[in-house]
Amino acid sequence: MKFTKLLHQLGSYLISFLLGTLLCFSGFHCLPSYAESFAETSLNNQENAPNSFNLAKVLVAEDRDSFVSTAVARTGPAVVRIDTETVISRNIDPFFRDFFGEQFRPPIPQERKIAGQGSGFIIDRNGIILTNAHVVDKADKVTVTLKDGRTFNGQVRGTDEVTDLAVVKISPQEAKLPVASLGDSSNLKVGDWAIAVGNPVGLDNTVTLGIISTIGRPAAKAGIPDKRLDFIQTDAAINPGNSGGPLLNSRGEVIGINTAIRADAMGIGFAIPINKAKALQNTLVSGKKVPHPYIGVQMVNITPELAKENNSNFNSPIYIPEVEGVLVIHVVPDTPAAKAGLRRGDVIVGVDDKPVTDGSELQSIVDSSGLNAYLKFRLYRSNRIINITVKTAQLRGTP
């Protein structure tokens, strides 16, 4: 009996071993084509179960291009490197000439060349390139290099320092040029994907990925007070050399132009909305001056609480009306505001019958008014309400 029982156990072990071996090897010999169809079949069968872990879906997705590579493939060829050369002249002190005579030859060269580099992207098959004004500003020579290695001499057609936009023209002749697809920056949402493409720190064809952190960030609040526009803020890495390159959405459309980084912050960069560039493109291509209306005041937001705190201080130099509005802290001499009679300490509460409680609102109204427009300001001066008409003018120092 014991011998018979032992034979039965041994037979059971052998059968289990053979079955396990067959199952194991049958799994290893599954053909790749069969495995792929199995994965896709499993994927189709589980479309209605989004919360379940789908190994087949993962396997199929790994074999496909990511949305980033697809987006970059769409617009990347249109991204260019812009190299600039600026000649700086050295002025020789007249004392040396007077002392040594005309034979004086200074040991230091009277001119030196400064090289710069940035990015841009082609928006027209005729060779129109968008970039930043600070990339090509005052450049004596501009060289444009395409991703495929072709090189062209560039001509700066127009620049605007206030929006940091510029247009460069190259002459492709018979050569075909890749063109970037422009998107619509008015449709952006916080959290959307953002892909920065350019040539940072001399490293050509570099791509970084992030999201849209904020939209409509005023330049003043972004720490860039010399610009007058609302930025797209992103955490996609933007480094020196990225300037002028495109910021793409997940579909590879240009939604912004990379322009600035904050030296005091990590992972924060800013881009000019592409719709702003679209609006100014024709003006820059034609070389005309971009209109920038201004009135000539420096201002801060004020609330009744802040005003009351100021007025309760016996050492305060001015009395501030205890209302909500925009406090004028300085009036620039010989400007529209000065000519109209605006004063330091005035609190602006409305323009053209529209209430104003924020300096950005006031700036937007002035920007959209156009040149030589008459704006009716309603303001508090001490405890009196007065109305003043201000005529806008072109911002000084703009090209």
Per-residue pLDDT, averaged over 66-72, amounts to 92
- Spot the catalytic one: 83, 119, 160, 164: 164
The domain limits of the chain are 74-169, 185-285, 293-394
Give the tens place of pLDDT for each residue, 124-161: 999 999 999 999 988 999 999 999 899 999 999 999 99
Higher pLDDT, 230 or 374: 374
Please say if 134 is a catalytic residue. yes
> What is the pLDDT, as a whole number, of residue 52?
41
Q: What is the pLDDT of residues 349-399, one digit of tens each?
A: 999 999 999 988 898 899 889 999 999 999 999 889 999 999 999 987 655
Q: Over 50: is that where the pLDDT of 61 sits?
A: no
Residue 107's pLDDT is 57
How far, in Å, CA of 179 to CA of 172, rounded?
12
243, 292, 346, 369: which one is catalytic?
243
Architecture of domain 293-394: Roll (2.30)
Burial of 76 (0-12, 13-18, 19+ CB in 10 A): buried
pTM (global) more than 0.75 = no
Which architecture characterizes domain 74-169 according to CATH? Beta Barrel (2.40)
Mean pLDDT across the chain, nearest whole number? 81
Q: Extract the runs of DSSP E, i.e. beta strands, from the chain.
A: 79-89, 111-124, 128-131, 141-145, 151-160, 165-169, 193-198, 206-218, 230-234, 246-248, 254-261, 269-273, 293-294, 297-302, 325-331, 347-351, 354-355, 374-381, 384-391, 393-394
Q: Is 77 left (phi over 0), alpha (psi -120 to 50) or beta?
A: alpha
Which is catalytic among the residues 124, 134, 250, 367? 134
The answer to whether 74-169 and 185-285 have equal CATH topology is yes
Give pLDDT tens digits for 2-19. 445 544 554 555 455 544
Q: What is the β-pairing status of strands 165-169 and 269-273?
A: unpaired
3-state secondary structure of 234: strand
Cβ–Cβ under 8 Å, residues 50 and 83: no
Topology of the domain covering 185-285: Thrombin, subunit H (2.40.10)
